Amino acid sequence: MKFRAKIVDGACLNHFTRVSNMIAKLAKTSTLRISPDKLNFILSDKLANGGVSMWCELDQKNFFSEFQMEGVSAENNEIYLELTSENLSRALKTAQNARALKIKLTNKHFPCLTISVELLSVSSSSRIVTHDIPVKVIPRKLWKDLQEPVVPDPDVSIYLPVLKTMKSVVEKMKNISNHLIIEANLSGALNLKIETELVCVTTHFKDLANPPLVSESTSQDRNPEQMAEVHIDIRKLLQFLAGQQVNPTRALCNIVNNKMVHFDLLHEDVSLQYFIPALS
C-alpha cells in the first residue's frame, strides 16, 4: 500500500484546506478513501449515533500536481483510512502560505498520514513542518460498509435557500426544540417547523426552484402543492449547515417522505452528499 501526493498551487491548497475544514465540522472521525482518480471523505454513522452518512468526493486531478497510489491489490486498487478529521484540518491550517505540501502514507511505529509542508519564510531558508496524523487502515472486509450510498427516489426535490439564512433560523429553533420537521413541495415551498407543547414555529421559504424530474418516479403524478415531510434531529441539520462556510454552487434537498432527507451540494468540483435519517 502506497500513497503520496503533492500540491504546489496555492489556490488548490486553499481549496483543499476548505474541504478538510468542512469535513472536520461535519464529522469527528471520517474515512478517507483513496483511489487512482478520486479522494472521498466518508462518514457512515451507526444507527445508534443518529445514522447520519456523508459522502464527499473530489477529483484528484483538480488538486494534486503529483499523485501516486498503490492499493491493497491490483483488483482492489483502493486505500481506506480512518482519521480524526480535525487533525487533518489543523495540519492544513499551518499550510496557509506554503510553497508546497506533500501527503504521504507512512509507518512510524503506527500508520500515519504524514503531511509535510514547506513554508515560505522571510529569509531564504526553508522551514518544514511535518504532521504525522495517526490513521487506522481499514481492512478489506469492512469496505462494504463504506460504499457510496444509494440515493433513494425522492418524493420532493428542491433547491435550498441561502444556507447562512437557513443556519441562523435553525440555530434559533434549536433553543426551543430538539426535533425539526423539514417539509417541501414541488412548487417551490420549503418549511422548517418545530413543534413543542408550548409553541409551534414555522419558517417558510417561498419561490425556491425545483429541479426538473429526471426519473420515472412516483413524484411525477404528485400534487405540486402537497408537502413531503420528515422529522429529523435538529442538531444533525445544524451540524450540516454549520459545516458550510462558503455557499455552494448548487444545493439540493431531497426529501423521502418520513424516511430521510438528503442534501446534495456542489462546491465547484467537490460534491458533498449528506443524509439525515428520519426520527422514528
Contact 228, 183 (CB under 8 A): yes
The one segment of 71-79, 129-137, 186-194, 248-256 that binds other proteins by CB under 8 A: 129-137
142 binds other proteins (CB under 8 A): no
129 binds other proteins (CB under 8 A): yes
Cβ at position 28, least distance to other proteins in Å: 12
Residue 215 CB neighbours (<10 A): 9
Nearer to other proteins, 129 or 279 (CB): 129
Contact 118, 137 (CB under 8 A): no
Cβ at position 178, least distance to other proteins in Å: 29
C-alpha grid cell, residue 176 = 426551543
Task: Please spell the DSSP secondary structure of 150-175, one letter per residue.
Answer: PPPPPSEEEE---HHHHHHHHHHHHT
245 binds other proteins (CB under 8 A): no
Nearest C-alpha neighbor of 279 from the set 241, 248, 236: 236
29 binds other proteins (CB under 8 A): no
Alpha-carbon distance of 141 to 203, in angstroms, equals 45
130 binds other proteins (CB under 8 A): yes
Q: Report residue 161: phi and psi, to 5°.
A: -70, 180
Enumerate residues 156-185 that contact other proteins by CB under 8 A: none
Among 128, 162, 213, 246, binds other proteins (CB under 8 A): 128
90 binds other proteins (CB under 8 A): yes
Nearest C-alpha neighbor of 279 from the set 45, 53, 50: 50
Among 19, 24, 79, 91, binds other proteins (CB under 8 A): 91
110 binds other proteins (CB under 8 A): yes
Cβ at position 205, least distance to other proteins in Å: 39
Among 11, 47, 124, 221, binds other proteins (CB under 8 A): 124
| Interacting residue ranges for other proteins, rule: CB under 8 A | 84, 87, 90-91, 94, 108, 110, 112, 121, 123-134
